[in-house]
A and B are shown apart, each in its own frame.
Chain A
Amino acid sequence: MDHPPELTAEAPRVWDRPVVSVPVLICLSLVGGQLPSFSTAANLYILGTGGGLIWVGLSNRVPRRPAPRRLSSAALWWLLPVTVFGVFEGATFVLSVGDEFPTFSRLADPLLEDHLARSAAWFAWLAAFWGLVRR
């Protein structure tokens, strides 16, 4: 029996629900968190997961949430944290004096050596990537 279009709604696909996507992201993160920096496995794994998400995001396989057509001038507030971060990252990178005045990634490296913290970082990266794919 056909329903008028205004009464029908597209049901989310099974794999598109948080009850499925969150455990999948957790599993991927736990695997990623075990792979050490500079290893071939880590490079291949991030190439695979990121490449897969880029492929899904550029195809029209996932329903996307509507994007705003324009932004108000209040969006300029975002320049404040971006500028502060950019100034410090730029200064630490250009001066390049190591641990005396470290870049953000140099500060993050010791924290990411712990497997649990590394898995959490993997989860944050994958979850944000999944969020981007769906926008």
Chain B
Amino acid sequence: MMRALAIGGFLTAVLLFAAVEWAARREGSRIPSLADVCAFVMRYEVGPVPVGRIGLFGFWWWLGWHFLAR
């Protein structure tokens, strides 16, 4: 029962990601695509340090390591 709840919850989240991305790609949509959100986050800098870029690259590398190397 709890296992089905977890699977259902994660499936819902994945479907919501797909639905929001789909809505963002519709013509005239005010919702930015996930790529635009990431690009906006990566613009964040503290002085000369591209903190947003380093943070997002680090997160994505960690995600790959977590799922594909361990």
Give chain A residues whose Cβ lies under 8 Å from the Cβ of B30.
72, 74
DSSP class of B's interface residues: helix, strand, loop or mixed?
A: helix
Contact A80 B20 (CB under 8 A): yes
Give 1 or 0 for each of A91-132: 1 = CB within 8 Å of chain B CB. 010000101111111011000100000100110010011011
Chain A at the B interface: mostly helix, strand, loop or mixed? helix
* Chain A interface extent, by class: 35 or more
Cβ distance B11 to chain A, nearest Cβ, rounded Å: 10
Q: Does chain A have a CB within 8 A of B35? A: yes
Produce 1/0 per residue, A42-81, CB < 8 A to B.
Answer: 1101110011011001100000010111111011011011
The answer to whether B39 and A80 have CB atoms under 8 Å apart is no
Distance of B13 from chain A, by nearest CB (Å): 4
B31 touches A84 (CB 8 A): no
Bound-state CA distance A77–B21 (Å) is: 10
A53 cross-chain contacts in B, Cβ below 8 A: 57, 61
Q: Kindly list the 8 A-B residue pairs having the minimum CB-CB distance in the complex, ordered from nearest.
A: A67-B39, A81-B16, A88-B9, A85-B13, A74-B30, A50-B61, A135-B39, A101-B2
A interface vs B, CB < 8 Å? Answer: 32, 35, 37-39, 42-43, 45-47, 50-51, 53-54, 57-58, 65, 67-72, 74-75, 77-78, 80-81, 84-85, 87-89, 92, 97, 99-105, 107-108, 112, 118, 121-122, 125, 128-129, 131-133, 135
